[in-house]
A and B are shown apart, each in its own frame.
Chain A
Amino acid sequence: MSNPQELRYSKEHEWLSGAADGVSTVGITEHAANALGDVVYVQLPEVGAAVTAGETCGELESTKSVSDLYSPVTGEITEVNQDVVDDPALVNTAPFEGGWLFKVRVADEPEDLLSADEYTEFSGSDSGS
């Protein structure tokens, strides 16, 4: 699998787009989606909610497990992807595209976000998930 170069990545396997007008798009990586298996339920934060980098802001359920969703940055939710709420399989089929999860107006971002190459190496050596 290939992780898009233009995105940055958290160690909790979220991706973050470059900010347009201060707003970034967030999703989970293909590596994370593959590890979860078929996603069947997505709970996202509310529009207007404040999220904090590294803290949980929702959950993803797959056939076998429930996983917390972490925000890779601190900020305010401006939009959530209703399509993925209605059809959670988008997380598996298009994790970097139609399976995006929410948009956030970034107030602060941690310094340890990874580049695509760094994340590829990180997830490749990450035996647990």
Chain B
Amino acid sequence: MSSNTPVEPRRTALDALHRSLGATMTDFAGWDMPLRYGSERDEHLAVRSRAGLFDLSHMGEITVSGPQAAALLDFALVGNIGGVKTGRARYTMICRADGGILDDLIVYRLADTAYLIVANASNAQVVLDAVVERAEGFDAEVRDDRDAYALIAVQGPESPGILKSLTDADLDGLKYYAGLPGTVAGVPALIARTGYTGEDGFELFVAPADAAKLWQALTDAGAPAGLVPCGLSCRDTLRLEAGMPLYGNELSTSLTPFDAGLGRVVKFEKEGDFVGREALSEAAARAESQPPRVLVGLVAEGRRVPRAGYPVVAGGGVGGGGGVEVVGEVTSGAPSPTLGRPIAMAYVDAAHSAPGTTGVGVDIRGSHEPYEVVALPFYKRQR
């Protein structure tokens, strides 16, 4: 927590709507956000089978523009951002010089010389400060656009049909990880086919003043298809089932992308230097020769739910006993509505990381509950 965190949480442009819908609110990274409106399990299943509507206005937008915008981002981030075509998006990371992950990001190329960076709410200031600092000497402008956008996501298999009824934009031509400017329900929007749920879906960046109108139009258009408002609680279980990392859980400054099994986002082949290149080369070599702990999925045989920070154990037999060694740590855990069983992501020693490994348990408040190691993700949608 930084010392300048406001005492009063920030409220999104949709705050009054959430309250009128009876949402249970929660403080998230200094924002007062909907946790759930009713049952989080029902919201989760609605996104898997129909559609869900999310207020994600806490996410942090940063616009980078100018003749050297691409060059700046190639220097500041680990990805090959100059290689992203206009209208497309890229999942990437920003690292420290020592390779530690500052945040994971989505970067949209809006135009030849303009990009939109979307950072996690909890890291938005850190990312903004880092990009501004790294911009020195580049002919590019870095603009804090956190207050310029509200972000509404519609996610789930019914979301293309719902959105089509409200826009003339060519959604069929809009691929996954692409974005285009358009108009939705009469509201100017950046329409992006991205999300954090493992389903098809869209994220709509709009002016805060237009957010309530868009939310209402999506609610009305989605009602026949079974769209429901969804809170951050189900967003977390949806992303966990989809095997997507969460900063602060699976990602941190003490880990490099290679430690997190996401070395593929680091593009050494791009031209020029970038922040973290040297340290990340070493991290890549280390991951090759002596792999550190590996990020795996765990599925419970029982019903007790693993939580972040719980030890992963092996040996000694399930139910306790001697000879138990700690072989890892849970980073995220929840009951999986789709699988009907508790699941977790965990960093475990390489020797226990192969899918199918048995004899692994999670120490749930002193009781060793049996878990099976599985490959991520837990859930993959049918395409």
Contact = CB atoms under 8 A, between A and B. Distances in A.
Given A37-B35, A38-B41, A41-B303, 18 more contacts: A34-B24, A37-B24, A37-B36, A37-B39, A37-B233, A38-B39, A38-B40, A38-B335, A61-B304, A61-B305, A63-B40, A63-B233, A63-B237, A63-B334, A63-B335, A64-B334, A66-B305, A92-B39
Contact of B41 (A41, A61, A63): A63
Contacts of A91: none
B193 interface: no
7 smallest A-B Cβ distances: which pairs? A40-B335, A38-B41, A41-B303, A61-B305, A63-B40, A38-B39, A37-B40
Interface string A64-84: 101000000000000000000
Given A63-B237, A63-B334, A40 B303 contact: yes
B58 interface: no
A40 B36 contact: no
A38 B334 CA distance: 11
Contacts of A41: 303-305, 335
Nearest to A37: B40
Contacts of A38: 39-41, 335
Contacts of A40: 303, 305, 335, 342
Contacts of B342: 40
B254 to A, nearest CB: 25
Interface of A: 34, 37-38, 40-41, 61, 63-64, 66, 89, 92
Contacts of A64: 35, 40, 233, 334
Nearest to B304: A41
Contacts of A92: 39
Interface in B314-339: 334-335
Interface residues of B, number: 16
A63 B305 CA distance: 8
Contacts of B40: 37-38, 63-64
Nearest to A59: B365
Nearest to A35: B24
A89 B337 CA distance: 12
Nearest to A41: B303
A63 B304 CA distance: 11
Contacts of B304: 41, 61
Residue from the set A37, A63, A89 with the largest chain B CB neighbour count within 10 Å: A63
B277 interface: no
B381 to A, nearest CB: 21
Interface in B26-59: 35-36, 39-41
B203 to A, nearest CB: 24
22 contacts: A37-B24, A37-B36, A37-B40, A37-B233, A38-B40, A38-B335, A40-B335, A41-B304, A41-B305, A41-B335, A61-B304, A61-B305, A61-B335, A63-B40, A63-B233, A63-B334, A63-B335, A64-B35, A64-B233, A64-B334, A89-B41, A92-B39
B307 interface: yes
Contacts of A63: 40-41, 233, 237, 334-335
Interface string B207-232: 00000000000000000000000000
A92 B36 CA distance: 14
Nearest to A88: B303
Contacts of A89: 41
Nearest to B334: A63
